[in-house]
Amino acid sequence: MYRSNVMILFFISIISTHIIEDSSKIFDIHWSKSPLPLAQDDFEKLNMTTSLGEKYTCLLPQKDSEHAVENFAYKGPLAIDFIEHLFNTGICSYRLDPYWTYEVCHGKYIRQYHEVLDGSRIKLQQFTLGKMGNKEQEMVLRVLRENELRAGNNSSFALPVKQIENKKLPYVEITMTDGSPCEFHKRKLRESRVYYICDLKGNHDIYSVKEISSCKYEVIILTPLLCAHPKYRPKITPTNVITCYALGKTSKLPFNLGKMYADRRRIMNEAFQGESRIEFLTYDKKPGPQSMIGVDSLMISNFLSGKHCISGGIGSWKYEFCYGKYLNQYSYGILGLKSTVCLGKFNVNKHIDWIRSHPYKRPKPVKHRNYITQFYSDGCISNITGKPRQTEVKLKCIENSVNWTGLMMYLYEPNFGEYVFGIESPILCYVIPMANEDGLIFFKT
């Protein structure tokens, strides 16, 4: 049953990763030096030979792995109650794309804006993609609550889902209307459908904003609140394990696969010395005792001393971060001339003054700490506020034992001239515990 497919899966694993996934199944290849004591009746044997003559025997599962399914009567709040709670908090979420900045103030309005150069002056261009007054909000919540109660009494009712990263996820949909007039249809107002989806690691983040038709938008929000409702949690996809063990004098891991891992580490090491390679990762596993073996202390030392800077970003504007020195945003014009805007410089005394006046920004106790925040001030003067730009820099430990050299960066502007810049990586898990009570790191090689 698996033979023809596994031939393809095996070679995919050699050139990509251990985890292999299609729309419905996940296969995880485990490599072993010697046969494992497995129940042979549950597996099919397949002998494999690589292009270099390395010989392996792989044990293929005869049936899909099973996982426990929750089957109990839920008596908690409705899904819409969790969304109403989010509306009442007054929280706004932001997303910085190459051209537009998006602002979603939950239950109130959605806005997109950016700065444009008008002669020698910079003007703010903005559009409202939808809004909701108090009366409209009460009516929408009432209708959705009635619909959810009606659906709960129908045993055959299935929640609507959206496919995100190969997973079908249920959602709560909110429509916001009465936005800014369309540019080509002045009588038509912009409107947005907002889809709230469960994500335990989310922070009411804007996952995406798309204009699906003229002046009609689709906004996806990832929130942990919905995860309290069992019907809105993602279904757990079982992992089918293929165990491959070496024959004779063959090494545990195929040579080309080992070489691929070495090349990946080299690329990430070079990222700390120049232009960064950004990877958007899904973090599911906690680092084990082996995860930090081989950490390059010189690489970390050079990063923390500001010798090696990190650059990244997409679109016309990119950014360069030199730890303990500065954060710049830059772009290249038609003639190749570089235009740079400083978003903040690090001054240890100003950082200490700032964090002591914002005590909630202090690092948590080491046992519960996974990020630190630092303050970069005295950037270039903002044309909107007339004040120096400033940035909160967040260094966050993301736990991942499979690819601890992965790196993700983001930048957004919650207020004019005030930025939040984040770097997230498993390698920072080695650094974050070193910070003192003021969020400062003193690294010793």
Beta strand pairing call for 92-96 and 55-61:
unpaired
pLDDT at 398: 77
Reduce the DSSP state of residue 145 to 3 states and report it: helix
pLDDT at 196: 97
- What's the whole-model pTM score? 0.51
169 burial level (CB within 10 Å; 0-12, 13-18, 19+):
buried
284 Ramachandran zone, left/alpha/beta (phi>0; psi -120 to 50):
alpha
Between CA 109 and CA 132 the distance in angstroms is: 6
pLDDT at 315: 63
Would 79-232 and 261-434 be classified into the same CATH topology?
Answer: yes
DSSP annotation of 426 reads: G
Amino acid at residue number 429: C
- Class (C level, CATH) for 79-232: mainly beta
Instruction: Classify domain 261-434 by CATH number.
Output: 2.70.130.10
**Which of 357, 385, 200 is closest to 283 using CA atoms?**
200
Residues of the chain under the 50 pLDDT cut: 1-22, 68-69, 272-294, 401-402
pLDDT at 137: 94
pLDDT at 107: 94
3-state secondary structure 350-364: HHHHHHHHCHHHCCC
Measured in degrees and rounded to the nearest 5, phi and psi for residue 56 equal -140, 150
Domain boundaries, the chain: 3-66+239-253, 79-232, 261-434
Between CA 163 and CA 255 the distance in angstroms is: 37
